[in-house]
Amino acid sequence: MLTGRGGGFLLGIYLLWAYALLIGISALALVGTVLLLWFLLAWLLFAVRVRLAVPRLRLERRLQDENGRVERLWAGLPYQVVLRITNESRASLSFVVAIDRLPLLADAETVDYHASETLAAGESLTLRYEIRPLAAGRLRFDGVKLLVTDYEGFFATPLFLRDGAVFRCLPPLADARGHIPAVKRVNILPLLGQHPHRRPGSAIELLELRDYLPGDPPKRIAWKISARRDRLMTRAVESEVPIRCTLFVDTSDAVRIGPAGRTALCRLIDIAGAVAQANGAARDLTGLCLFDEERVLSSVRPERGRRHLLDLIQILADHADLFPRVNPLPLDQLVFQAYGLAQDLYPELLDRDINAFPWWLPLWSPRPVYLDPLPRPASPSRLARFSTWIERRLRDTPLGWLWTIPRRFSPGAHRRYRQRKQLAALVAVLQNLGPAAAAGMLEDDALLRAVLARFLADHGQPTPLHLFDDEGNYAFASHAKVGVLAKALLQAVQRGKDDELFVLLVDLLENDDLEPLLGAVRVARARHHQVMLICPWPSGIALPVKTNEEAKAKTLASLLAQDFDQKEIVRLTTEWRLHQAYENLQQRLGRAGVSLLCAQKSDTVPLILARMHRLRVVQRGTR
């Protein structure tokens, strides 16, 4: 590819040549000819070197910390990325600029994550920089973007070395706030420290000494202390009982919305991972259930052990970076984003020799009109409704060819048709869909939208979303997940043995029909189980507090009187609506005996562990 400098130099040669021929100076024409030959020779050498060296470039990536190479990452900890590009050919590249493509979940500690130097034959180019994963999920490194130029900067060739390395990032490690020490309860004896048992639940500890009561077993009498006090004393002992805890994590579209690493789903995953680690340290049994609007994605029964804890954390990490499904939005916007990503990652699959698009195809056979959705009236006026009715009737008649004229001769229609055809062929090859799917995506908008959404999600690229539909309703309410959660909770209650704790990490602020869930909660409470609900709270919104309607009306009136700030009014009304929804949810669940907490509070994990500690006190037998 000829750069701007190369084009200017070539234009200068042509002007020098024309001036020499116009005046008749043969020496000046000879100089122009020599410069032109030197320019063509430099271009030929550059093209030969690129053709010989690029297929033999090898990419090696390694992530390491202070202890050495790592295969799994933990969110919030720094890691060093070492990237090495080796030239195994016999041709040298004059000047190479390498830029690594960072995942969305990776926050670069250093801005300088690119290198620029000569890549000779048999030598390597090394990049070193630090990253810090923002949240749990999968870090996918698509590859490195290369820009190969000559010494003079006349020619440049952009390349992309695909890597495809995927590293699993686990939820952050639980800190000291996530562990509650197993101290004795209401003990009148001096605290002598912790007494860990080899088999939890099988041993007993001394709780207190009290006077002998009729009916106490003789083996519990403290004979030495009784002899010193001249009255019978009884040893009251207690035993540690492991508690079962099942975490129900919501993975629906409602919690997937937001910037990468800062969604409500990431916060719920962090809470679930911290509780699982704290329970593992206390030798408690932890279960997990992941669900969405349609079904239960993963279900693990309560168990304990290091292997079980690692399995739970890995399952949480695999579902932490899910993207929301694409709701109906302009397909042209989705195609534009996917085509830009394909140009960066798969430039060779868009080459004319592989993925050709004839220029005459839109002229000869444009996209049929009957594939477009029926037009809607732009306004409720009678004239608009009449024009829409006429358009609907004439479009399916022989006069419908009039609507194909813009598609046959419009440059924008040609560009959209070309991008759609090339993307359909590219995605069909990458996802092994076959030629029939490539032909179907040219006509089926729903199929193309679903395939492109999967293509963008596989490469960690978020898609634009419409939070509200045409009628003003919230598009991600996910009413069906209440039934899925209620069914999963009932199944967990049926498998339950002793008093258990069920922690529901689910977003219910936009759901009004809670009767299936309330029925399942009543069944769980009837069997002496404890239920807690952790509701994710949007970032940037104040935590719910009780405010009266008069204060809200005064605040809104002051905003309208001072300055009509539309954004501030929308933010306040949204905040008040969420506060009201939280208060209604708290009242309805409170009647069923369910505790409600916000996921944005820093003491969420300690409160869950405190509830388990109280449940342990109830189950701990005192004899």
- Retrieve residue 2's tokens: 């000829």
Q: What is the pTM of this model?
A: 0.76
Q: What are phi and psi of 158, to 5 degrees?
A: -80, 135
Q: Give 445's contacts (C-beta < 8 A, 6+ positions apart).
A: 331, 371
- Cβ neighbors of 434 (< 8 A, separation 6 or more) are 428
Q: Give the C-alpha separation, 74 to 305, whole Å.
A: 20
> Do 457 and 430 meet the contact criterion of CB atoms below 8 Å apart?
no
What's the CA gap between 480 and 291, in Å, rounded?
A: 11
Q: Which residue has the tokens 């509830």?
A: 611
The pLDDT assigned to 536 comes to 86
pLDDT value at residue 513? 83
Q: For position 178, what pLDDT does the model report? A: 42
pLDDT of residue 205: 67
Backbone φ, ψ for residue 180 (5° rounding) = -110, 120
Eight-state DSSP code of residue 172: P
Give the Å distances, CA to CA, from 501 to 182, 220, 233, 587, 600: 18, 33, 37, 21, 21
Phi, psi of 262 (to 5 degrees): -130, 25
Element (H, E) at 210: strand 204-211
Please tell me the predicted confidence (pLDDT) of residue 401: 63
Question: The tokens of 203 are what?
Answer: 């041993």
Only one residue has tokens 């919501």, namely: 250
Check: CB of residue 598 under 8 Å from CB of residue 544. Answer: yes
For the chain, list the domains and their CATH numbers: 51-170 (2.60.40.10), 244-321+477-619 (3.40.50.410), 331-458 (no CATH)
Positions of the chain with pLDDT lower than 50, given as ranges: 176-202, 620-623
**In contact, 65 and 77? CB cutoff 8 Å:** yes
Q: State pLDDT tens for residues 51-106.
A: 999 889 999 999 998 888 988 888 888 899 999 999 998 888 888 988 888 888 88
